Amino acid sequence: MLSGLFAVDVTAATVLCVRCGSAGPVARLRLDHHGHGLVAHCAECGEPVLSVVRTEDAVALDLRGTVALTVPLESA
């Protein structure tokens, strides 16, 4: 089940911001690149909603600014 979640184009997913309650596609988030990762900010209020950091052996995904991340399923 989890492999299906992470094997999709996440830009098509919808993210719901903790701070302002705005929902929109991940593709609309404003990205700031920092070293080995990035921070994605809500398009409406600017609050950080998620961050991704890559190391030599792992990728860490922090969703603390997100109420929900909804990923559409592909048709069978």
Domain ranges of the chain: 2-70
Q: pLDDT tier at 3 (50, 70, 90 boundaries)?
A: low
**Per-residue pLDDT, 10:** 86
37: pLDDT strictly greater than 50:
yes
Between residues 9 and 2, the one the model is more confident about: 9
CA distances 66 to 15, 38, 45, 76, Å, are 7, 15, 13, 28
**Chain-centroid distance, C-alpha 20:** 16
**Per-residue pLDDT, 64:** 96
**Chain-centroid distance, C-alpha 33:** 14
Q: pLDDT tier at 1 (50, 70, 90 boundaries)?
A: very low
At 18, is the secondary structure helix, strand, or coil? coil
Q: pLDDT tier at 75 (50, 70, 90 boundaries)?
A: low
